Each structure stands twice: as C-alpha cells, then as structure tokens.
C-alpha cells in the first residue's frame, strides 16, 4: 500500500536476477518509493552461469565470455554501473574464424552473417562446399517464400531455403555454438526471427540478410553509446572479465538482502479476506524454513526449477518442454614458445559430421588480448551438444586426453599445458522448442492474471544472451511495479 515499503523477492542470482534487482531499485527511486529486495540463490556466490577465474595473469571465463556489442541493454547497464571504461573488444588482427572440414581448418568465407552468406563471390569460391551444395543454396533466390505463418525449426527453415549441405557444414556449427543445440529442434521464431522476416519481406533469405546488412551499415543501430575505443568490435567484454560486471552489481546492490546458499522452495498467495488487509500478498518459503513476505516476486531460475515453484499453482508444461543441454569446456594455458603455432584468427567450430570430441575451440589469447600474458597462450575447447552430452561426464583425465588429441590432430599442438581448467555446466543451455514463444506467453499471461506481481523471466524465455537477460530483468522490474501500482 501507499507510504509503505515495497517488498520484493528475486529468485535467482544470475544476471537476470541481478538486473531485475538493479532495475527494481531504479524503478522504485523513479517512482519515489522505498523498495526492500531480497535475493535468493542456492549458490554461495552471485552470477549464476557467469563465472570468471583470474589465475596466473590469465582471465578465464568458465561460462559466458562476451556479448554482442549491438545489443544495447548491457551497454546501458555498464554505463549505469560506471564501468563502461572497462569494456574491451576483440583483437582486430584475429577476425578470421575457421570451420573444420574433413579434418582440416578452412577459413570461413567472408560475408557470412549468422551462418548465412551475404556475399556471393567468397561463397562461390569456398572449398567448404560442393558445387551441388552451392547451387542448392542459390535456389534461395528463386524459391517462393513459405505461406505458413506458424513457427518451425531453424533446421527445417535453413534446409528449406539453403539446402542441407550449407545447413550442416556452415550454419549449424556456427549457430549451434550459441545453443549447443540440434537446429532441427530449435524454434526459429524464438531464436532467429530475422531469418523468417528476411524470407517474408524479400522472398529470399540471402537477399533479406544482405538488405539488413546494408541497412545496418547505413544507420548503425543505437550503439552510439559504446566508448569510441571499442566501437568496431562485434563482441565485447570487460578487461577484468565478466566478473567486473558482477563486482559492480554487487556493490550497487549492497542494500539488497541476500539469502545465499538457500533455495526458494515454494510460494503462496495470501487471501486478504483471510489474512487481513495488511498482510503481504505473497509469502516465499526458503529451504531453511525462513518465510519472506512479498508484494512482488521475480522468478529467474532455469525453467526446470521455475517449474517446481509454479507447479502447485498452474500447468507448467511450457516450462517442462524446455530441454537443457549439458556442456563443458576445457581451458588450457601454454607457454607461447612451446607451441610453434600461429593463431591468425579467433578459433574454429566443428560440424557434427567431423566426429571429434570438441565442438569448437576459441583461441582465447588471440581473440582477447586482455585474457592472457603476452608470452602465453590460452585455448578454450568446448565439448557437449544436443545428442552428445555423455562426454561432459567423462573423468577429468579422459576428457583432457580426448581434447588434447583433437587439438593435436587439428592444429598439431603436442605441448604439455601449463595448467588445465575443466568446467562442467550441467543442464545449462536451454533449447527453445518450436512454438516456444506462444506457449510461454500463454503461461505468463495466465500468471499475470492470477498472481499479479509474480513475474517469470530469465534465459529460459526471451533470449539467452547476456544482453537479452538484462533486458528481461529490466522488463521484470517495470512489469512488477506496473502490476503493483499501475
Ligand atoms: P542463471 O545464470 O542460470 O541464474 C539462475 C540462478 O537461479 C542460478 O544461480 C540458480 O542457482 C538459481 N536458482 C535455481 N533455482 C532456484 C531456487 N529454487 N531458488 C533460488 N534460486 C534458484 N551468453 C552470452 O551473451 N555470451 C556468451 O559468451 C555466452 N556463453 C555461454 C557459455 C555457456 C557455457 C553457457 C552455459 C551460457 C552462455 N551464454 C552466453 C548464455 C548466458 O550465460 C546465460 O543465458 C545467462 O548467464 C543466464 O542468466 P540467468 O540469470 O537467466 O540464469
């Protein structure tokens, strides 16, 4: 009510929860209100999947390592936190990316945008594809746009437009890096709606993506706020790693109550007729028995955990339908002198058909100059994807050997690493199923109607990227306040 404190419980201390809390405070201030926020997370540290290790002069990211510069919510947050001067871009001398094909690294043809060719000449010349595959892709110029209006999988869409060869050899390894997914099971509408728009507006995916590129070049999207020093980089991070953002958020949220090492296990809605006008509309029960009173709740836990919380109140099939893939990464540090390898790019991706253990390898010290002392090399190899997850649970030494064998075959690296860091992220990559947007929208609409002030958000919903999570946190803050006060 008026003049009282607004009590909020934020469930989950990942970037979605932290930005929800941050923007709830901001929203409260703008509305001239006083907010008391409690953040709950079973982990002892904030950040969720963001996890930076600083070791021996290296900046090692165990989870996400960077973000797309053109997505502004994270840039805005960096400015809000006063850490914009900490932003750093990729090494301009390491722009090349490679694809493994028949055991050899092939430079990605220039002009690929999200795996879609937008320049014809380099695409026509690439040794990655057969003539048949290239001709099939060119059919995109003449095939009519589909008249179906519903969602479909990215895999079905791409093979429909460009053929299965381009899909499997180029688009899949590139796009799958983002979701560790099987493109035939991922929703197009929820992941790359711009592909479908391109087809609809231009009758051709390639033509549409080219038009988008021209448009972006003429009128760069609102990245004008990016510090000049990093303006030309497509990806950005912070010089001290993504932990820099966590540290700044931690400080900005110093007044936020923490309940770390504890889970929210249930919540309930109080009936004002039964509990009196003064009772809080909601109560959140924590795993240690504590009960938190709340006027608003923001749930940012992964879909399977959110489903457990919501199941007593409504049908949660839309959440249970979101499968999460397990992945791991193996980071290795080397003495540069011991390698004798020249890294003239940012790394390589691996199509499924190659049969290696690793799905990709980032040449981290070449891509990010801040990440390693200059006489050292840092490599980050990825394992695990939809349909190939058992590898994640191989014992450390077996996993290490499998990864080293791959980089020996692909890059000729035989040197002993100075150290190796393995990170396993079980059930960490949400796979938006076909129909995801519609199904989750229905669930969230129902939730808003039945339990105003309870907001369901996070990477499970409307974008997995860090900027998307921050945007969703901001939307949560204004949404919760709107349902509370109008
Ligand atoms: P999380 O970080 O998963 O946080 C959710 C939190 O909820 C967790 O801390 C969990 O402990 C907590 N929780 C669960 N249940 C409960 C409960 N009952 N009560 C209280 N708390 C609970 N994105 C990029 O933009 N760039 C990248 O380079 C990138 N790389 C990635 C690499 C990997 C290996 C992975 C896994 C993801 C990557 N992503 C990347 C995606 C991005 O990291 C995530 O989408 C994002 O960090 C998710 O944030 P979140 O807060 O929504 O979820």
The CB density around residue 283, as the number of other CB atoms within 10 Å, is 18
Task: For 220-250, write each residue's pLDDT tens digit.
Answer: 655 557 787 788 898 999 999 999 999 999 9
Q: Which residues of 328-345 are buried (b: 16+ CB within 10 A; e: fewer)?
A: bbbbbbbebeebebebeb
Tell me the C-alpha distance between 73 and 475, whole Å: 11
Ligand 1 pocket residue status of 452, Cβ below 6 Å: no
Contact 415, 332 (CB under 8 A): no
Please count the other Cβ atoms lying within 10 Å of the Cβ belonging to residue 109.
20
Task: Please tell me the predicted confidence (pLDDT) of residue 272.
Answer: 73
Pocket probe mutation, ligand 1, options 49, 297, 421, max atoms within 8 Å of Cβ: 49
Q: Is the CB of 327 under 6 A from ligand 1?
A: yes
The verdict on the CB of residue 158 being under 6 Å from ligand 1 is no
CA 336, 341, 343: angle at the middle one, nearest 5? 90
Q: What single-letter DSSP state applies at residue 94?
A: G
pLDDT of residue 486: 85
Q: What's the start-to-end Cα distance of the chain, in Å?
A: 12
pLDDT tens-digit readout, 275-330: 777 789 999 999 999 999 999 999 999 999 999 999 999 999 999 999 999 999 99
pLDDT average, residue stretch 250-264: 98
Q: What's the confidence (pLDDT) of residue 1?
A: 46
Task: Check residues 218 and 80 and name the one with the higher pLDDT.
Answer: 80
> Which two structure tokens, joined as six digits, stand for 324?
């999460």
Between the CA of 128 and the centroid of ligand 1 the distance, in Å, is 34
**What ipTM does this complex have?**
0.99
**pLDDT computed for residue 451 by the predictor:** 97
């Amino acid at each position: 009510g008026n003049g009282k404190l607004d009590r909020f419980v934020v469930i989950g201390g990942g970037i979605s929860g932290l930005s929800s809390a941050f923007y709830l405070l901001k929203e409260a201030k703008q509305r001239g209100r006083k907010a008391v926020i409690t953040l709950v997370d079973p982990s002892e540290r904030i950040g969720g999947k963001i996890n930076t290790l600083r070791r021996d002069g290296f900046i090692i990211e165990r989870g996400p390592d960077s973000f797309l510069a053109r997505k502004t919510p994270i840039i805005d947050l960096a400015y809000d936190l006063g850490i914009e001067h900490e932003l750093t871009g990729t090494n301009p001398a390491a722009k090349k990316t490679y694809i493994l094909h028949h055991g050899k690294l092939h430079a990605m043809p220039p002009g690929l945008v999200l795996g879609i060719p937008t320049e014809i000449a380099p695409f026509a010349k690439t040794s990655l594809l057969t003539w048949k595959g290239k001709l099939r892709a060119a059919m995109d110029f003449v095939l009519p746009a589909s008249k179906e209006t519903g969602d479909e999988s990215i895999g079905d869409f791409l093979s429909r437009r460009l053929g299965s060869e381009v899909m499997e050899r180029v688009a899949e390894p590139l796009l799958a890096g983002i979701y560790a997914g099987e493109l035939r099971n991922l929703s197009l509408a929820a992941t790359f709606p711009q592909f479908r728009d391109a087809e609809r507006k231009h009758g051709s995916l390639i033509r549409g993506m080219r038009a988008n590129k021209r448009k972006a070049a003429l009128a760069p999207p609102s990245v004008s706020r990016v510090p000049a020093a990093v303006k030309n980089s497509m990806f950005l991070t912070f010089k001290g790693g993504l932990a820099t953002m966590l540290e700044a958020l931690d400080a900005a949220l110093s007044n936020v109550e923490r309940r770390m090492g504890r889970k929210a296990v249930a919540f309930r809605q109080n009936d004002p007729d039964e509990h009196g006008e003064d009772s809080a509309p909601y109560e959140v029960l924590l795993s240690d028995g504590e009960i938190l009173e709340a006027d608003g709740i923001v749930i940012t836990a992964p879909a399977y955990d959110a489903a457990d919380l919501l199941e007593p109140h409504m049908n949660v099939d839309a959440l249970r339908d979101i499968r999460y893939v397990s992945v791991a990464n193996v980071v290795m540090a080397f003495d540069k002198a011991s390698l004798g390898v020249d890294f003239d790019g940012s790394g390589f991706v691996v199509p499924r058909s190659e049969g290696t253990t690793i799905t990709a390898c980032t040449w981290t010290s070449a891509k990010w100059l801040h990440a390693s002392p200059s006489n050292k090399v840092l490599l980050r190899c990825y394992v695990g994807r939809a349909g190939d997850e058992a590898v994640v649970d191989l014992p450390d030494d077996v996993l290490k050997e499998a990864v080293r064998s791959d980089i020996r075959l692909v890059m000729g690296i035989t040197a002993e690493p100075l150290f190796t860091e393995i990170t396993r992220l079980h059930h960490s990559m949400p796979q938006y199923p076909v129909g995801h947007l519609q199904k989750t929208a229905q669930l969230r609409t129902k939730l808003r109607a039945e339990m105003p002030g309870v907001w369901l958000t996070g990477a499970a919903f409307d974008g997995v990227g860090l900027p998307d999570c921050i945007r969703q946190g901001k939307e949560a803050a204004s949404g919760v306040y709107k349902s509370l006060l109008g």
